Amino acid sequence: MPANNNDDSDLSMVLPRVLIVSRRTLRKNKFVDFVGEFHLDLIVSYGAVPVIVPRVTGVHMLLESFEPIHGVLLCEGEDIDPSLYDAELSGISPEELEEIRKVHASDTAIDREKDTIELGLAKLCLERNIPYLGICRGSQVLNVACGGTLYQDVEKELSKKIPEEQRIMHINYENYDGHRHKVQVAENTPLHHWFNDSLEETKMEIMVNSYHHQGVKKLAQRFVPMAFAPDGLIEGFYDPDAYNPDEGKFIMGLQFHPERMRHQDSDDFDYPGCPAAYKEFVKAVIAYKKRLNCSACVPKAPKLNQELETKRKTIVRSFSIARDMYNSGRGMPLGQEPELEVGAEFLEANTALSLQQENRLKQMGATVRNASVYRERLKMNEERERIARIVMGKMSIGQLSDLISFYHVMGNICSEALERKLQDRVDEEVEF
C-alpha cells in the first residue's frame, strides 16, 4: 500500500490499543521484562495492538503518556503486597509465612512498583469504564482495586478448613503446564455462554489449568462469580453492569489461564470456548475506541490568534466585573471604569446580542453602589482556599488520589451530559 500523510496509514493509530504490563525476571545478572506470547498473539489476532508498559521504576507516574488507552489486560506476576488488602486477618503464623516463601519463592518476592502501576491502571479502567481483562494475578489486582481481599495462601487458609475430598491442588510444580482441576461454571454468565457447547447440564464443569497459590477471599461487592473450584475458591468473576462487549463494556477477572489451555504447536484449545475471553474483550476494546472517537467529534471552540485571544480575555473580564457589581448591588471598584467600557462598546457594536442582554447590562450599571461587598467576598474566597490547602495538606496520598478520581469521574459525567445536549441540539436543527 503506498504511503500517505494520513494518520490512518499508521496501524498503531487505526487499531485499538491494549495496555499490558510486563513482568520482570533476572537473566544473566540483568533484569528482563517480558509478557507471555499467547496473550499477545490472541490480542493481535482479534484486531488490537498490544502496548507493553515496562515494569520500570517511575512508570506509574507516566501512565498518561500511554494515552489513548482503549483496553487493559493484566496477567502474570508476583504476589500482590499484602498491605494493600486486609491481610492481617489471615491467621497465618510467621512460621507458616516462611514456609510459603520457600515453597513459592518465585511468586512471594513482592514487586511494589508493578503493584502501583497495575492498581493505577485498574482504577483508571473503573473510573472511565475502559475494558479490562484480568488473568490470574490480573484478576486479583482487579478485586483488590475494588476493595476485595485475597487468601495469602490457599492451602494454608482454605484447604485446611475443608474435608480432604474437597481439597484441590491449585499449583503443581512437577506438572506445571499439564496440571488441571475442575471448576463449576455458574449459569447465565459470560463463561457459561462461551463454554456452553462443552458443558453437561447436570455437571456444568470444565477442567482448567492452575498456576497460583493465592486467590480471591472476599469478592468485591460489584462483582458476580462465574466459576468455583470444588474447594469453593472463586475462579472467575465479572461486573454484570459493565459487561456488554458490543457497547464497549468489559470488566472481568479469570483466575485460570484460558490462553495457555492451548495445544502444543497448534491453534486448538482444550475447549473451543477458551479464546472467547480474548475475542469478546477485543470486541469491547474496538467498540470503546469507536465511542471514544465519537466523543472527540464534539465541536470545539475555534482557536484564536494571539491578538483576538487578548481581546476575548479583555471582554470576558469586563463582563465578569459587571456581573460581580450586579450580584453585589454595590459600586464600581476603583480604577476599573475603562475595563467596563470595553464590554459596553462590545455590546453596542454587536447587533447579534438580544435586547434582554442589553437591558441586563444596563441593570448592572443602574444598581452600582460601592465595592465593599465585592472585596469581602474576595477575602472570603481567599480564606476558603487557604483552609482547603491546609486540609488537603494533611490528607494521605490515597485520600488525595481518591479525591482526584472523584473529580475525574464527575468531569467525565459532565462531558457525557454536554455531548448528549449538543447532539440533541444538532438533531433538533436537522429536524427543523
Predicted confidence (pLDDT) per residue in 160-183, tens digit: 777 777 788 787 777 777 788 899
Is residue 358 flagged as an active site residue?
Answer: no
Helix (H) or strand (E) holding 237: strand 234-244
Asked whether the predicted pLDDT for residue 249 surpasses 80, the reply is: yes
From 257, 274, 280, 339, active-site residue: 257
Provide the 3-class DSSP secondary structure of residue 222.
coil
Separation of alpha carbons 427 and 432, rounded Å: 9
The region of weakest confidence among 99-113, 126-140, 371-385 is: 371-385
178: DSSP letter: T
Separation of alpha carbons 74 and 114, rounded Å: 11
Question: What are the residues whose beta carbons fall under 8 Å from the beta carbon of 315, sequence distance 6 or more?
Answer: 342, 343, 346
Stretch 101-127: mean pLDDT: 83
Whether cis (ω within 30° of 0) applies to the bond prior to 68 is yes
Render pLDDT for 43-85 as a digit per residue (tens, 0 to 9): 999 999 999 888 888 888 888 888 899 999 998 888 888 888 8
Separation of alpha carbons 130 and 43, rounded Å: 16
From 125, 136, 146, 274, active-site residue: 136
Q: How far apart are the first and last CA of the chain?
A: 44
Cα 159 to the chain's mean position, in Å?
Answer: 34
From 235, 259, 280, 339, active-site residue: 259
Specify the higher pLDDT residue, 50 or 328.
50
The region of weakest confidence among 49-58, 232-241, 246-255, 321-330 is: 321-330
**Residue 200 half-sphere exposure toward CB, CA atoms < 13 A:** 6
- Reported as a pLDDT band with limits 50, 70 and 90, residue 133 is very high
Is residue 259 flagged as an active site residue?
Answer: yes
Is residue 257 flagged as an active site residue?
Answer: yes
